Amino acid sequence: MPRWTIWLLIGALVAFVTVPLLTPDDDSEQVPFSEFREMVSAGEIDTVDYDNNNGRITGDFVDEERGSFRTTGPVPLTESDRRLIQANTNEYDFDTPEPNALLQFLPYVFFFGLIILFWVWMIRRAQGQMGGVMSVGKSKAKTYSTERPGTKFADVAGYEGVKQEVTEVIDFLKTPQKFGEIGARIPKGILLVGPPGTGKTLIARAVAGEAGVPFLSVTGSDFMEMFVGVGASRVRDLFESARKMGRAIIFIDEIDSIGRKRGAGMGGGHDEREQTLNQMLAEMDGFEPTEGIVMMAATNRPDILDPALLRPGRFDRQVVVPLPALEDRVAILGVHVRHKRVDPDVDLEMIARGTPGMSGADLANLVNEAALFAVRSGEDSIHKDHFDAARDRILMGQKRETLALTDEEKEAIAYHEGGHAVCAAVLPHADPVHKVTIIPSGMALGVTQQLPEGERHLYRRDYIEDSLVVRMGGRVAEEIIYGVPSTGANNDLVGATELARKMVREWGMSERVGPMAWGSQGEVFLGEDLMHTRDYSDDTARVIDEEVERILREQESRCRDVLTEYRPGLDLVAKALLEHETIDGAEVVRLIKVGSGEIPDEGMSRSAESRNVVERSRAEAEDADTTDTTPAGVSVGDSSEATDTTTD
């Protein structure tokens, strides 16, 4: 019952007692005092009752039909009026009544009652605070029992291999005697490892729902408080609660917050986080195989966990939950569109092919964005175009159609994106072009979107080199057309440099450096040192820088040769982008073939202007060494709005 109901009942009780006393029910006839004296003298009054305290006079008429009367006289009553009443009435009474004790003491009772209630509230508040302090070491785990409807494996789309891995845990919790008969020992701890958004927590909930046992869920941050020793106390309370339940699952989400390598920070062995980890290690090591308690945890950073946490007997099995493959993405999309009105023209497999690298959370966001686009357009169902718009919104950002660009900037952006598109279309190992647009999206002034034809797990050197050429396409195209580069290639250069550096340092794709690899430098809080270090000499660092520069210059030269060869196609693609702002990959390929003369110009208008574009582009390609075609003001934008190149 809410607290305010108690105060409501008290107020109703006080009103029930005091209101009748303060407002008496009196239906007698009101008469003036002068008229009352005349009635007494005439013998019309039968009884009189005079109150000496307030001069109130009540009584009855001789005529019973008139009933009773009331009036107010002087205080005190004069002697003449007293004798008049005594001489002319049958019954009279001059009374001095005692005051109502309840009304007399009610203000004092109310005042002292408020004081008592205030002290009661203060005492309860102090007790609550004391109880909070005393219970600070209690576990904050949420318990999901069999009475509460849980998640099943049917709610988890795809990941059949992961489900098969955790099915053994379900069988052990349901029928532990089957494992005990042959001496098999179930893993005590299962660590779910995978990128963010892949559904690790959802899989853990599904295990609890399928097993039908209590499921204790807690996050790693719930163990940490401002008080020393709270984390270890909560770990003890968590495991004690699980032991009382018999068979149960303890799930710790984001375990890397308390399971980092010990000795990797400033606190040393007295760090509160390390004490919490030590207590968890001790509790897990004290389990018996027949207790029926299984530990599950989820993290996307297994490399920073303490080795003692991953040894056999603790988290001795790691289940990788990777990004969903094509079949898994189709199943995940089917789950998320289950309760949405989707048009029959939507092909989930085609949508899944266009979303490589997306996690389950990304796919859920994609479906929701498509539904929002359908609502904005006034449709009663979600169409294929809505999914395409939602994918572009996620991959490229929100379109900034209101951004004002000059004609020179639009032309520069068109040639920039055309350079990316032409390189991606003609190189044999590059991913095909999906869409090219010069509409500003997000922080980019234009985007060339590439989508792979299938799932890739290994990347060959020729594929990476073609990717570098595609990234260089925008900058080289601007140099060919205008003679000078712009700031629009900032994002391209950053990505290309990082890719080339990985080729040299990590993938052994440099003949001069040889088959050696040096991983990327880790963050300070992940290692045992307080400063960034590298495990190679200054001479090797110089060689690495020289090799990175060589690779980038070689691919830039290749890019220049490609765009010079396909200069007519580049002009046609840029012209189409200026006219339509967005073209697809098939149109890019067709325009390149038209520019090279492989196919006739049937799909495009054969106006004199279009023919002049082709002829002028060929003439400029022949006279590129002697003619300066640099116009004034070709800057696309500052580095914060550098033109994006590819979205793989």
Which residues participate in catalysis according to the annotation?
Answer: 417
Query: 554: how many CB neighbours lie within 10 A of its CB?
Result: 14
Nearest to 173 by CA among 214, 128, 122, 133: 214
Backbone phi, psi, residue 426, to 5°: -100, -20
Q: CA 217: distance to chain centroid? A: 19
Whats the size of the chain, residue-wise?
648
Nearest to 582 by CA among 441, 395, 431, 452: 441
CA–CA gap between residue 402 and residue 523 (Å, rounded)? 40
Strands (E), 276-390: 293-299, 317-320
Q: Which secondary-structure segment (H or E) carries 40?
A: helix 33-42
Written as one letter, the residue type at 410 is K
Q: Which secondary-structure segment (H or E) carries 72?
A: strand 68-72
Backbone phi, psi, residue 361, to 5°: -65, -40
CA–CA gap between residue 488 and residue 445 (Å, rounded)? 8
Written as one letter, the residue type at 326 is L
C-beta separation of 563 from 480 below 8 A: yes
C-beta separation of 566 from 595 below 8 A: yes
CA–CA gap between residue 37 and residue 71 (Å, rounded)? 11
Q: What share of the chain is helix, strand, coil (3-state, %, to 5)?
A: 50, 10, 35
C-beta separation of 324 from 198 below 8 A: yes
Query: 48: how many CB neighbours lie within 10 A of its CB?
Result: 22
Alpha-carbon distances, residue 640 vs 17, 259, 491 (angstroms): 76, 38, 9
Rounded (5°) CA angle 432-562-607: 80
C-beta separation of 314 from 284 below 8 A: yes
Written as one letter, the residue type at 467 is S
C-beta separation of 77 from 30 below 8 A: no
C-beta separation of 411 from 578 below 8 A: yes
Alpha-carbon distances, residue 546 vs 254, 464, 494, 549, 579 (angstroms): 41, 18, 17, 5, 43
Structure tokens at 135: 């219970």
Residue identified by tokens 């005091």 is: 18
CA–CA gap between residue 45 and residue 63 (Å, rounded)? 8
Residue identified by tokens 């909070």 is: 132
Torsion of CA 632, 635, 636, 637, to 10 degrees: -140
3-class state of residue 439 by DSSP: coil
CA–CA gap between residue 305 and residue 258 (Å, rounded)? 9
Instruction: Compute the half-sphere exposure of residue 179: CA atoms within 13 Å on the CB side of its CA.
Output: 17
- Tell me the CA end-to-end span of the chain in Å, nearest whole number: 58
C-beta separation of 28 from 58 below 8 A: yes
C-beta separation of 424 from 433 below 8 A: yes
